Amino acid sequence: MNLENPLSPTPAANRLRNLLVAIAAILLTTALFFGFQAQQSSTSLDAVAAAASPIDVALANDKPTTIEFYADWCTSCQSMAADNLSLEKEYSDRMNFVMLNIDNTKWLPEVTKYRVDGIPRFIFLDSANQAIGDSTGAIPRAIMAANIEAAIADQALPHNSISSDRTSSISEPKAADISQPRDHGKQPA
Whether residue 77 lies in the annotated active site? yes
pLDDT in tens, the chain (189 residues): 455 566 677 888 888 888 888 898 888 888 777 666 555 545 788 889 989 999 999 999 999 999 999 999 999 999 999 999 999 999 999 999 999 999 999 999 999 999 999 999 999 999 999 999 999 999 999 999 999 999 999 999 998 876 444 444 455 556 666 666 666 566 655
DSSP letters for 67-128: EEEE-TT-HHHHHHHHHHHHHHHHHTTTSEEEEEETTSGGGHHHHHHTT--SSSEEEEE-TT
**Residues in contact with 91: Cβ distance below 8 Å, sequence separation at least 6, in sequence order:** 97, 148, 149, 152
Active-site hit among 58, 77, 116, 139:
77
The active-site residue, picked from 48, 49, 67, 74, is 74
Confirm whether 74 is a catalytic residue. Answer: yes
What are the residue ranges spanned by the domains of the chain?
45-152
pTM of the model as a whole: 0.64
Q: Nearest Cα to 48, choosing from 72, 16, 75, 24?
A: 72
Say which CATH topology domain 45-152 has: Glutaredoxin (3.40.30)
* Strand-pair partners of 99: 68
Q: What is the DSSP letter of 161?
A: S
